Amino acid sequence: MSCTLGAPLSQAGGITIAGLDLARPLPPVLREQIRAALRDHHVLVFPNQTLSREDQFAFTANFGAVEHHGGRSGQTKRYAAAHVITNLDDKGNPVDRSASPVSNYHWHTDKPYYPMPPMLTALYAVEVPPLGGDTEFANTALGYAALPEAAKQRIEGLRVVFYWGAGARRSETNARTPAELREHPGVDHPLVRTHPETGRKALYLGNHASHILGMPEPEGSTLLDTLLEHTTRPQFVYAHRWHAGDLVMWDNRCLLHRAVANYEMGRDRRIMHRSVVRGTVPV
């Protein structure tokens, strides 16, 4: 089994890796080639795959411990490591969930509210709309590198508190309840994290960011919003147009991502299977 690497898909990252059947065991030499491609290009596109959830789990397990899904959707234990992301309701009808403050249609990185957030995510397209339904990826290492030196100095050493459901960072008048605090306690990580393999610095923020430690809430909110707007500018973004059978794997340590509400969500079905691989404590 061999693979072919295509040309870079954008200045922000992305590369297609063709010729692989990811349902088959991955030889060590190919595993290391994929690791190197992820380090260099951040988003890997594997087209024309036919994968069960077990196949997806086995493939992603080549790169580390696969996180089991938290179970909020009530999916069965058998499929906990490759759970379904869908726009279908309980009756199987397409619905529009893009307005939810915690939906995947906002810029985010996966599970930053974990003490050891995922290093990578793998998303497999089972059903996609005939038009739209893209996923965008923002390169936060490029975003950090483009900041003025004064801005880099200002944010060096700052820490961000993340929790699931932070959304647009609730005000004190809509503070979390004690039950929510127990179920989803805040976790703080560096606002500027260093990639453990490349040594490059990247911004670490997004829709699950609540506030900056030691900074007044209005000032911290303004700073987070300004940095998010900066690092998601078009020159730092790669947009992936899905085809059924695509498996896309990306590096959560230097990317934000979001689904794009550019399709008829109340009419067209969009069904994906997601797996995440555990990372290390951000530094």
| CB neighbour burial string for 168-198, b if at least 16 within 10 angstroms, e if fewer | ebeeeeeebeeeeeeebebbbbbbbbbbeee
Q: What are phi and psi of 106, to 5 degrees?
A: -110, 150
DSSP state of 9: S
**Structural contact between residues 25 and 34, judged by C-beta atoms closer than 8 angstroms:** no
Question: In this structure, which amino acid lies at residue 104?
Answer: N
pLDDT per residue of the chain (283 residues) written in tens, 0 to 9:
778 899 999 999 999 999 999 999 999 999 999 999 999 999 999 999 999 999 999 999 999 999 876 544 444 444 456 889 999 999 999 999 888 877 889 999 999 999 999 999 999 999 999 999 999 999 999 999 999 999 999 999 999 999 987 865 554 445 556 666 666 679 999 999 999 999 999 999 999 999 999 999 999 999 999 999 999 999 999 999 999 999 999 999 999 999 999 999 999 999 999 999 999 999 9
- End-to-end CA gap in the chain: 37
What residues does CATH 3.60.130.10 cover in the chain? 4-99+110-135+240-278
- Reduced to 3 states, what is the DSSP secondary structure of residue 160? strand
| CATH of the structural domain 4-99+110-135+240-278, one choice from 3.60.130.10, 3.40.190.290, 3.40.50.740, 3.30.950.10 | 3.60.130.10
For 225-234, how does the pLDDT look when each residue is reduced to its tens digit (9 = 90+)? Answer: 999 999 999 9
| Secondary structure of residue 126 in the 3-state scheme | strand
Give the residue among 114, 124, 138 at the shortest CA–CA distance from 279: 114
